[in-house]
């Protein structure tokens, strides 16, 4: 049983296509989502159909797999079952948890309403709606300072998502919509990127950060590093920069400052006594299994794996993909009766990184790309 149809879960399912196993892939949505490009949906560069692939279509040719669109609400490791939000519990011999992450407001959950994150199609569509609606409002109102607030867009967090999002917002306002309005010039719109650290893309080498900052500057994004958000309200954001505190009137804030493990991690931790880190991620063994549960594997953003170099691997697609491949191989061997102790999982960094601009984005989708009405037609949420 595989919980989650993201990059990790997909690889496990594919890696078992010729194995003598019956696979159930369960996800709250019946589609795989290319999450790294959600920012493109949020800024209208791509439609949801272009970054989603229905799980049923992906696995139509794999008869040993069935898709269940449902939410896993509980896990019983003793009886080896999972409970769904409705319907019968499902039995498993091997369980793979690949349920991903959700937005993390670090205790300030009231900010969520004023600063949506970028984890789901709904998130992206809500941001798109707010951005377009802000421009429409600026066309309608006369007060110059009010209009300026509607034309100020703030992205919080200078990781890959925040950097891409700020760049795409600038392209949208300063280029795409240049001639669309009569009451103001969209090129006067301000796009700010606030990052607490001294540079953007802190997980990458310093020259890359500098590169990204220059690209953003050329696009007209104001990049503020060392800027710490203190408060987010419907019509302004408060942040400190150096010794000073700033109150910036804005109607549109996007949250890209952090994630935490999906809620299922807490359920599983309780049932198995597995340890978790401060982001709620399950701390896994060198073979990606849970301590004392060699038949339960945890991969991707919901897992904390630090056996390689002491720090946890980042929550990016290549990590999940390689972990999925590793677990598929482990299960193939275990079901074939191979009891050799496994060599630990090792991540190979192939240098994927953030890109800025729509063209590179489209190139990223690669062979998962499904086009047209037929693909999106079958996408829905089941909970």
Could you please report the per-residue DSSP string of 105-136?
Answer: -TT-GGGGGTS--SSSHHHHHHHHHHHHHHHH
Nearer to a copy of itself, 183 or 203 (CB): 183
- With helix as H, strand as E and coil as C, how does 339-360 read? CCCCCCCCCCCCCCCCCCCHHH
Among 11, 30, 35, 209, binds a copy of itself (CB under 8 A): 30
Which tokens go with 95? 């369980």
Other beta carbons less than 10 A from residue 234's beta carbon: 9
Helices (H), 183-230: 206-219
Nearer to a copy of itself, 137 or 364 (CB): 137
Among 141, 175, 203, 247, binds a copy of itself (CB under 8 A): 141
Among 13, 25, 38, 49, binds a copy of itself (CB under 8 A): 49
Contact 163, 354 (CB under 8 A): yes
Nearer to a copy of itself, 3 or 70 (CB): 70
294 is an interface residue for a copy of itself by CB under 8 A:
no
| Number of helical (H) and strand (E) elements in the chain, helices listed first | 11, 22
To the nearest whole angstrom, how small is the minimum distance from the Cβ of residue 172 to a copy of itself? 8
What x-and-dash track marks residues 69-108 binding a copy of itself by CB under 8 A?
xx-------------x-xxx--------------------
To the nearest whole angstrom, how small is the minimum distance from the Cβ of residue 84 to a copy of itself? 7
180 is an interface residue for a copy of itself by CB under 8 A:
yes
As a residue count, the chain comes to 383
225 half-sphere exposure, CB direction, 13 A CA radius? 15
133 is an interface residue for a copy of itself by CB under 8 A:
yes
Residue 83 backbone dihedrals phi, psi, to 5 degrees: -100, 135
179 is an interface residue for a copy of itself by CB under 8 A:
yes
Tell me how many residues contact a copy of itself (CB under 8 A): 45
Element (H, E) at 167: helix 160-171
What x-and-dash track marks residues 158-177 binding a copy of itself by CB under 8 A?
------------------xx
DSSP 8-state symbol, 71: -
Classify residue 12 by burial, with Cβ atoms within 10 Å: 0-12, 13-18, 19+.
buried
Other beta carbons less than 10 A from residue 281's beta carbon: 25
Among 140, 278, 350, 367, binds a copy of itself (CB under 8 A): 140
Element (H, E) at 182: none
Nearer to a copy of itself, 113 or 183 (CB): 183
Nearer to a copy of itself, 175 or 266 (CB): 175
Please give the residues from 185 up to 204 whose contact with a copy of itself meets the rule CB under 8 A. none
19 is an interface residue for a copy of itself by CB under 8 A:
no
Give the active site residues.
164
Nearer to a copy of itself, 177 or 228 (CB): 177
Sheet arrangement for strand 23-27: 65-69, 23-27, 2-3, 95-97, 293-298, 289-290
Instruction: Give the binding site for a copy of itself (CB under 8 A).
Output: 30, 44-47, 49-50, 56-57, 60, 66-70, 84, 86-88, 128-129, 132-133, 136-137, 139-142, 176-177, 179-183, 373-374, 376-382
């Amino acid at each position: 049983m595989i919980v989650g149809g993201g990059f990790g879960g997909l690889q496990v399912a594919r890696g078992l296509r010729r194995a003598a196993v019956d696979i159930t892939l369960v996800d709250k949505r019946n589609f795989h989502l290319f999450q790294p490009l959600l920012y493109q949906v949020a800024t209208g560069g791509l439609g949801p159909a272009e970054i989603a692939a229905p799980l049923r279509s992906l696995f139509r040719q794999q008869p040993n797999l069935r898709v269940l669109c449902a939410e896993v609400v509980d896990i019983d490791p003793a009886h080896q079952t999972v409970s769904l939000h409705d319907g019968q519990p499902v039995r498993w011999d091997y369980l793979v948890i690949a349920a991903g992450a959700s937005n993390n407001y670090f205790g300030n959950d009231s900010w969520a309403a004023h600063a949506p994150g970028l984890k789901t199609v709904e998130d992206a569509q809500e941001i798109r709606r707010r951005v377009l609606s802000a421009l429409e409002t600026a066309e309608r109102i006369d007060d110059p300072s009010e209009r300026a607030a509607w034309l100020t867009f703030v992205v919080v967090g200078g990781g890959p998502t925040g950097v891409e999002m700020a760049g795409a917002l600038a392209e949208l306002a300063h280029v795409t919509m240049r001639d669309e309005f009569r009451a103001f010039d969209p090129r006067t719109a301000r796009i700010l990127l606030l990052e607490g650290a001294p540079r953007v893309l802190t997980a990458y080498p310093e020259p890359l950060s500098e590169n990204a900052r220059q690209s953003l500057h050329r696009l007209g994004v104001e990049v503020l590093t060392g800027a710490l958000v203190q408060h987010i309200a419907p019509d302004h954001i408060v942040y400190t920069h150096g010794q000073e505190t700033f109150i910036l009137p804005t109607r549109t804030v996007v949250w890209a400052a952090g994630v935490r493990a999906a809620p299922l991690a807490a359920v599983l931790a309780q049932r198995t006594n597995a340890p978790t880190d401060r982001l709620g991620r399950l701390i896994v063994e060198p073979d990606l299994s849970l301590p004392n549960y060699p038949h339960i594997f945890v991969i991707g953003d919901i897992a904390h794996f630090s056996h390689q170099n002491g720090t946890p691997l980042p929550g990016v697609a290549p990590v999940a993909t390689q972990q999925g491949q590793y677990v598929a191989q482990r299960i193939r061997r275990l079901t074939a009766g191979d009891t050799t102790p496994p060599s630990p999982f090792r991540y190979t960094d192939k240098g994927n990184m953030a890109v800025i601009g729509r063209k590179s984005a489209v190139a990223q989708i690669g062979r998962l790309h499904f086009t047209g009405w037929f693909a999106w037609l079958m996408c829905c949420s089941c909970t």
